[in-house]
Each structure stands twice: as structure tokens, then as C-alpha cells.
Amino acid sequence: MAGCKKIGILTSGGDAPGMNAAVRAAALIGRAGGAEIFGIERGYRGMLDDAMEPLSPGDVQGILRDGGTILGSARCKEFHDRPVRDRARANLARRGIDGLVVIGGNGSLTGALHLADPEELGDQPLKVIGVPASIDNDLALTKLSIGVDTAMNTIVEACDKIADTATAHDRTFIIEVMGRDCGYLAMTSAICAGADLALFPEAGRSETDIVEQIVKTVAAVRQRPVTDKKRARRVIIIKAEGVSVPVERLKTLVDLRLRERFPDSDPGGIETRVTVLGHVVRGGRPSAMDRLLGSRLANVAVRTLLTGGSHKMVAWMPPSIPDGVGVRSGVDPYCWLVDLRAVLAETQNLIAGKSSLARWRVGAFDEIEDALLQ
Ligand code: F6P
């Protein structure tokens, strides 16, 4: 297999802290391996606009600690159309770019697969390797994507702050976090923040059930004896944005039920407060873990292109996994090369809550829910 000689690097979709670490590692390792490196601006949009410039070591110096991505990012819906992809391929061919490191999530890796579809490519030499990057952690067959760790830390820090004021007032807070259709960030940050309840789409609960679940949680916490000074009487609920009930509607419905349930309480004291963390969760300096993850995944990605590999995603998994799922990268014991098509198929199952991992997550929360309310 001929190795790539001119490698383009792009970041695409929602930016994720740690993307810069991946860009830096891919650029430095690729260059050291003898390839010419290009930075493609604003993801697939820059490929269409022919915005691809050589990336020198100086360009990537010092970017490791910065959030966002120096290359910029975009969501390029037109990329679903074959003629648009043909245009992008022509731009790559004109510059002789024969390898791509695509750093992004589900949509971005789907774009990579289409771009390098052998039937569409003809005899154009183009190899692609995906690097998972999305705060949502909704890509399958990798334990972690770039950005998740920083996002979790941001959420937990925000929840700790909210918990201070919630405790001072014995209040209930519903905190909405990003994650698109995936509840991973809500689930994990609920554990790390010591929340009383996590609401996530994979549970498949109806609006009525969700309202009852919240009221049950508030009631259990409020029934704790007032003399039990060490036990907090505040309630922290983390809601994934993928739960289809809008947070303001949830507040209205819950407040109504709480007033019925606790008619003697001061209405101002019992009503819930809502905080939507939104894009705050996506920003900030990457954690050490995300810098490490970005660097190690990109190292393997670019080395794979240099030795002629293609159509894979570099996955972060423990050094031993069941046979047949992937092949060892041979470069880093935590990095595996998994088939890009298999990743995207399994990702659909994960998001739909049908994969064994998604079912395990839901089951684990069912089991701990009552324990949390004691
Ligand atoms: O996929 C990352 C993500 O931040 C999701 O959590 C969120 O639903 C979405 O992107 C927001 O996208 P945009 O920034 O385009 O509004």
C-alpha cells in the first residue's frame, strides 16, 4: 500500500476542546514522516472553497492549550450531494492531496466515508482516517471522543456552583446540558456532580413519567428530617438536551405538581429553577486528558495514512478487547483501527438506545435511581 505524500487535516462539525492537540500532532508527526501537510479551513466548507494552506510547525506551535480549533469548523449540509463532493475531490486532486485526517463526529466521519467512496473516487488516490471528536460521546466503538472529558469537567464545575446556591435555599434546579440525541454527558456528569436525578433520551420516558420522576425525587429529598443537618435538602437534576420536553415546559409542569403535592409550602420556595448550560459546555481550555487523547489518536491517524491505510477511525479502547472488533494499531496499545462503516452503523444503534452499551447505561441508572433517594 502506497503511503500518502500530501495530507490534509480538517476539523468539522461542532468544535470540541482538544481538537487543536489533534491538529498539532497530525501536522508534526506527518511532516516528520516526510509528508506535506495542509490545513483545510472550516471543515468540508473550506475543501469546497479551496481554502487549504500548507501547515508549518510554527503554525501549530502553542495551540495545544487552546479551546476551539485553529482551522475553524462548519456543518456543511451540501456535502450530502454527489456533485458537491465531486467539486471537493477536484480541489484535493489539483493540489495533489492524497490523504485526509478528518477530526470530528458522526456527520463528519460520514462525510469522510462518502468522499472516499471507491465508486465515486474512480482512480483518484484518496485515503481517509477519522479521529473521533465530539463532546457528545455519541460515536460507537470508541470509549471516548476528543472533547468529552473537558465538557464533563465544565458541567461538573457549573453544577458544583449551582449546588452551593441550591443548598443555601433548599431549592430544586433542573440543569440542561448539551449532548444532542445522546445522554452520555448528562449521565456521567450526574454521577460526578452527585446529582439526584439524570434525565436522558435513551430511557424513552414519556413527559408524564418524567414529571412524576422529578416530583418523586423532590418529595424524597424534602421528606428527609430537618434535624438531619448533614443531608442536603436541595435537588439537582441534570437533563440531557435530547430529552424532548423543553426545559421551560418541564418547569411549568413540575411546579404545578409540586404545588399540589406540597400545598402548605411557600410557593416561591418550592418552585424549581432552570439553568441551560448551552454552548458553555463546548468551550474552554482542553483538559490534560483531552490534550493527551487528541495527540495520541492523531498520531496513529497520520501514521496510518503514511503507511497507506484508509477507511478507518482511530478508536480509544482498553488494550484488550474481544477479537474481531478491530485490529491493533501497532502504534499505541490504547488506539485501535476500526472500520469506519462499522463505526457509523453501530453509532446509529447507540443513539437509538439499541446497542448493548446503550442498554447497559439505561439499566445502570435504573438500578441506582432508588439508591440515590435514600
Ligand atoms: O455535537 C455537538 C453539539 O454541541 C451538540 O451537543 C449540540 O446539540 C450541537 O452541537 C449544537 O450545534 P450548534 O452549535 O450548531 O448549534
Rounded distance, CA 18 to CA 5, Å? 25
How far, in Å, from the CA of 25 to the mean position of ligand 1?
25
Q: Using the predicted structure, report yes or no on whether residue 1 has a pLDDT greater than 90.
A: no
Confidence band for 56, pLDDT divided at 50, 70 and 90: very high
> What is the Cα–Cα distance from 294 to 267, expressed in whole angstroms?
49
pLDDT band at 333; cut points 50, 70, 90: confident
pLDDT at 228: 66
Pure H helices in 146-246: 148-169, 184-193, 207-222
Mean pLDDT along residues 46-54: 97
Average pLDDT for 85-112: 97
Count the helices and strands in the chain (H runs, E runs). 14, 12
Question: What's the gap in Å between 17 CA and the centre of ligand 1?
Answer: 13
Q: Ligand 1, closest atom to CA 282?
A: 4
List the domain boundaries for the chain.
Answer: 6-147+286-352, 169-281
User: Given this model, what pLDDT does residue 373 score?
Assistant: 65
φ, ψ at 275 (rounded to 5°)? -130, 125
Q: Where are the alpha helices (DSSP H) in the chain?
A: 19-32, 44-48, 57-60, 82-95, 106-115, 118-121, 148-169, 184-193, 207-222, 247-261, 267-270, 288-306, 340-351, 356-372
Mean of pLDDT over the chain = 94
Report how far ligand 1's centroid is from the alpha carbon of 288 (Å): 23
Find the mean pLDDT for residues 317-342: 83
Average pLDDT over residues 239-245: 97
By alpha-carbon position, which residue is closest to atom 7 of ligand 1?
180
- Taking the C-alpha atoms of residue 197 and residue 188, their distance in angstroms, rounded to an integer, is 11
Cα separation, 304 vs 330, in Å, equals 10
Contact (Cβ atoms closer than 8 angstroms) between residue 104 and residue 43: yes
Q: CA 289 → CA 37, 149, 254, 366, distances in Å?
A: 25, 7, 38, 29
8 Å CB contact between 305 and 4: yes
pLDDT at 331: 84
The residue-averaged pLDDT of 80-85 equals 96
Q: State the pLDDT at residue 188.
A: 96
Mean pLDDT of 91-103: 98
Q: pLDDT-derived band of residue 318, with 50, 70 and 90 as boundaries?
A: confident
Q: Is 179 in the pocket of ligand 1 (CB under 6 A)?
A: yes
Q: Is 98 a catalytic residue?
A: no
Domain 6-147+286-352 and domain 169-281 have a common topology: yes
Alpha-carbon span 27 to 29, nearest angstrom: 6
Say what percent of the chain tops pLDDT 90. Answer: 83
Mean pLDDT of 214-230: 83
Confidence class of residue 225 from pLDDT cuts 50, 70 and 90? confident
Examine the pLDDT at 265 and tell me if it is beyond 80: yes
- Triad 361, 136, 275: Cα angle to 5°: 95
- Look at residue 301 in the predicted model and tell me its pLDDT: 98
**CA of 13, closest atom in ligand 1:** 1
Instruction: Choose one of 176, 282, 347, 351 to mutate for the ligand 1 pocket test, by most ligand atoms within 8 angstroms of C-beta.
Output: 282
pLDDT at res. 364: 87
The protein residue whose alpha carbon is closest to atom 15 in ligand 1 is: 14
Q: Whose CA is nearest to atom 8 of ligand 1?
A: 180
CA end-to-end span of the chain: 60
CA of 15 to the centre of ligand 1 (A): 9
User: Is 0.85 surpassed by the pTM of this model?
Assistant: yes
Catalytic residue among 15, 98, 136, 181: 136
The tens digit of pLDDT for each residue in 274-288 reads 999 999 999 999 999
**Mean pLDDT for the stretch of residues 254-266:** 91
Which has more pLDDT, 260 or 324? 260
Residue 171 has pLDDT above 70, yes or no: yes
Q: Mean pLDDT over residues 155-165, rounded?
A: 97
- CATH class for the region spanning 169-281: alpha beta
Mean pLDDT of 75-83: 94
6-147+286-352 domain in CATH 2.40.160.50?
no
pLDDT mean over 166-177: 94
- Cα angle for residues 115, 116, 119 (degrees, 5° grid): 100
